[in-house]
């Protein structure tokens, strides 16, 4: 790994982590619910964006690898949060809130796959 790759990931990570903090807090404050909706929101948004980016990268093959690394590994890697999703699901299970736990798991798993695919298809559709 060279210094430009490191810089791309580090600077993108700072942006993505800050965005996650702001969106997660805003969603959780606005929508009080039994599910951790802030984490779900960032995971769904991040999945939609990664689908869109990969479609864009597929169309624009001359983009800098540092730009791709900055966007995907840096920003979106820090923005989405599988580890938080995992611990929140565990805490729901531990508290005996099985319906909420399995709903959280299903929404995160299937929702993020759906949103990634939607993002990819949206970009491919609108760039033709």
pLDDT band at 112 (very low <50, low <70, confident <90, very high): very high
- pLDDT of res. 63: 97
pLDDT band at 127 (very low <50, low <70, confident <90, very high): confident
This prediction's pTM: 0.88
Domain containing 88: what range? 3-126
Q: Are 80 and 13 in contact (CB under 8 A)?
A: no
Q: What is the mean pLDDT of residues 15-31?
A: 96
Encode the chain in three state secondary structure. CCHHHHHHHHHHHHHHHHHHHHHHHHHHHHCCCCCCHHHHHHHHHHHHHHHHHHHHHHHCCCCCHHHHHHHHHHHHHHHCCHHHHHHHHHHHHHCCCHHHHHHHHHHHHHHHHHHHHHHHHHHHHHCC
- Direct distance between the N- and C-terminal alpha carbons of the chain, in angstroms, rounded to an integer: 35
- pLDDT of res. 33: 86
Give the number of domains in the chain: 1
pLDDT band at 83 (very low <50, low <70, confident <90, very high): confident
């Amino acid at each position: 790994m060279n210094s430009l790759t490191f810089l791309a990931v580090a600077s993108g990570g700072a942006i993505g982590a800050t965005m996650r903090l702001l969106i997660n807090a805003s969603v959780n404050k606005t929508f009080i619910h039994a599910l951790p909706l802030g984490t779900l929101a960032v995971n769904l948004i991040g999945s939609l964006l990664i689908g869109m980016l990969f479609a864009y990268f597929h169309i624009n093959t001359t983009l800098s690898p540092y730009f791709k690394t900055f966007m995907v590994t840096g920003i979106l890697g820090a923005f989405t949060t599988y580890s938080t999703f995992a611990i929140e699901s565990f805490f729901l299970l531990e508290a005996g809130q099985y319906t909420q736990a399995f709903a959280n798991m299903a929404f995160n798993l299937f929702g993020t796959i759906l949103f990634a695919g939607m993002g990819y298809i949206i970009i491919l559709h609108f760039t033709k």
